[in-house]
């Protein structure tokens, strides 16, 4: 906490995490809590998992989108720790629109620091699984692990790069492809086609991009109720989980960071650790 007692100035932030191997029922709890939230934030992971929410008898399948997107007055944020496959995100939005989702354009925001999942990452994911044979992890082949590897190797590409100078984005993308082609000679990437696709996607996604730290700080400082939606689970944590099956993102690290920093040093933080499945 900072030196000034700001408890009376802010709402409490709520963080939902899984305490086992996933599938504890986080989605159901988040759906219930989202009804009273002003902002729902996805903080890590990608579109490699998901849950179903039923609204007025209609099923919505969420993989990347925060659950709050179906709440009429709730803002949704895809945070900087999330890796985003833009074509997949827009496909998910299109499917949700067909089921009745409205006005998402004014409610969905994405951190400029979130890293992009490219199709080449998905190819690499499949190749790595094939190389492991019987020892494969059984990933969804959505490119999540390879994208976080690119991020850790400092060759990953952020959304900020995409909506900035496109010539610089082009150089970074070409460099990313070159690195992966050296590691995976069978990798096939149509660079020109990908660049054309992402030039169009840049304009589609541009209105959604925000600086997420400021976005959340402003929300908390103005008394908004913030709900943070964790993905995966404790036993899949890359540091503390079962080593052979861990995911590339840390669930417990998320808890430690938010507990220590108190969400910009200004908010009380409440954690829900789900120890078992919610029926």
* Residue in this structure with the two tokens 């925060």, named with its chain if needed: 66
276 is in an annotated binding site: no
Considering 31, 51, 63, 180, which one is annotated as catalytic?
Answer: 51
Consult the annotation and say whether 85 binds a ligand: no
Contacts of 25 (CB under 8 A, 6+ apart): 274, 277, 278, 279
Strands (E), 108-235: 108-111, 115-116, 209-210, 226-229
Pick from 80, 69, 60, 61: nearest CA to 40 = 69
Which of 63, 115, 151, 180 is an active site residue?
151
- The Cα–Cα gap between 218 and 212 comes to 10
Tell me if 23 is assigned to a ligand binding site.
yes
Is 92 flagged in the annotation as binding?
Answer: no
> Does 200 count as an annotated binding residue?
no
Let me know if 151 is a catalytic residue: yes
Question: Is residue 197 a known part of a binding site?
Answer: no
> Does 23 participate in catalysis according to the annotation?
yes
Find the catalytic residue in 23, 113, 119, 172: 23
81 is in an annotated binding site: no
Q: Which distant-in-sequence residues (6+ apart) come within 8 Å of 192 by Cβ?
A: none
Q: Is 147 annotated as a binding residue?
A: no
Q: Residues forming the annotated binding site? A: 22-28, 48-52, 140, 154, 232
Catalytic positions are: 23, 51, 151
Q: Residues forming the annotated binding site for IMP? A: 23-26, 48-51, 140, 154, 232
Q: Residues forming the annotated binding site for Mg(2+)? A: 23, 50
Q: Residues forming the annotated binding site for GTP? A: 22-28, 50-52
């Amino acid at each position: 906490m900072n030196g000034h007692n700001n408890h009376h100035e802010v709402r409490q932030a709520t963080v939902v995490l899984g305490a086992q191997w996933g599938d504890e029922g986080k989605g159901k709890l988040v759906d219930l809590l989202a009804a009273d939230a002003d902002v729902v934030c996805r903080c890590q992971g990608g579109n490699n998992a998901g849950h179903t929410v039923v609204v007025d008898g209609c099923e919505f399948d969420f993989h990347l989108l925060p659950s709050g997107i179906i709440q009429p007055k709730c803002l949704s944020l895809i945070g900087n720790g999330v890796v985003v496959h833009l074509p997949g995100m827009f496909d998910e939005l299109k499917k949700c629109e067909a089921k009745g989702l409205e006005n998402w354009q004014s409610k969905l925001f994405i951190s400029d620091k979130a890293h992009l999942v490219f199709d080449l990452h998905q190819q690499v994911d499949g190749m790595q699984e094939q190389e492991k044979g019987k020892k494969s992890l059984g990933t969804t082949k959505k490119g999540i692990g390879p994208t976080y590897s690119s991020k850790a190797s400092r060759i990953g590409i952020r959304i900020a790069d995409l909506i900035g100078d496109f010539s610089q984005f082009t150089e970074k993308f070409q460099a990313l492809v070159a690195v992966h082609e050296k590691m995976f000679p069978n990798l096939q990437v149509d660079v020109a086609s990908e660049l054309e696709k992402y030039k169009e996607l840049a304009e589609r996604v541009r209105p959604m991009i925000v600086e997420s730290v400021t976005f959340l700080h402003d929300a908390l400082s103005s008394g908004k109720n913030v709900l943070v939606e964790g993905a995966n689970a404790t036993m899949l944590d890359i540091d503390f989980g079962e080593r052979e099956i861990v995911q590339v993102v840390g669930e417990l690290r998320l808890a430690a960071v938010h507990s220590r920093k108190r969400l910009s040093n200004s908010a009380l933080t409440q954690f829900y650790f789900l120890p078992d499945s919610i029926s």
